[in-house]
Structure 1
Amino acid sequence: MKIRVGFGFDVHRLIEGRELWLGGIKLEHELGLLGHSDADVLIHAICDALLGAANMRDIGYHFPDNAGEFKNIDSKILLAKTIDLIATKGYRVGNIDATVCAERPKLKAHIPEMQEVLAHVMNIEPEDVSIKATTTEKLGFTGREEGISAYATVLIERD
């Protein structure tokens, strides 16, 4: 069996007038993330980690932010397409370990649903999707609630 690891990072600005999507679910919040798609930073970080692990460049290469077909797209669709892309090289997801950095909203209660949704999209068990939430103790752009960032590490494998 061959295994590879990948790392992903994403960040989006918080603004008024947008929905907040994180980990494939819509959260109630007065601000949403700005982006060409639904701006789900967690899914974008996971996509980048998966593509990097398979040595297939990055999310912007495959799903450019100037392509009309991806305007306001549900990031779960991008994740499913990413799973299909790594499968062309014979890879499947082993596990995901991700961290979301946000002051608000508090994410702890939403993590199990995120795990279920993401596991379903990637056709893996929820136990194989670790999601952690943290703040930056009011430091930096996340601390000032100007944006949200996410980090993801993945393991992919093939026989």
Structure 2
Amino acid sequence: MFSTWRHVMAIDVDGVFFASRAALPHLRRVRGRIVNVGSVSGLGADWGLAAYNAAKGALVNLTNAMALDHGHEGVRVNAVHPGLTRTPVAAPIVENEETLAAFRRRIPMLRLAEPAEVADVIAFLAGSDARFVNGAHIPVDGGLGASNGQPRMF
């Protein structure tokens, strides 16, 4: 249990922290941007995924703290939070028709995201069109986060 917790934290939190810290001298010089990739699981919890939820939740607040600490240096820090996205990591869900159908029923757009749809939001946050966006968290979830959890009534 502890080894799983540490492994998830090391990848999802420590990795972002140390990579950002290493990049900051350069980012300060060029007025660069950091776009962290979180998850809807950091904005709300899932059953049975405590370590992952905690790590992605920590990434939310790490993004906030970095936006505060580095905005005055010209470094903007934001995050995208994808929902279920068609990637190799999601293959066990995508390949199971029953599980995929359950996800689709919960997503207002009735489908999972494509990687390019997440990349487009990252590109926006990294680009000059978002030049005054700092400390933002953008869910890329097809509207999943708009729900209060009540079942669809139609």
TM bin, normalised by shorter chain, reads 0.3 to 0.5
Q: What's the TM-score once normalised by structure 2's chain length?
A: 0.33
Q: Which has the higher contact order (CA 8 A, sep 6+)?
A: 1
Q: What's the TM-score once normalised by structure 1's chain length?
A: 0.33
Which is richer in helix?
Answer: 2
Task: Name the larger-Rg structure.
Answer: 2
Which is richer in strand?
Answer: 1
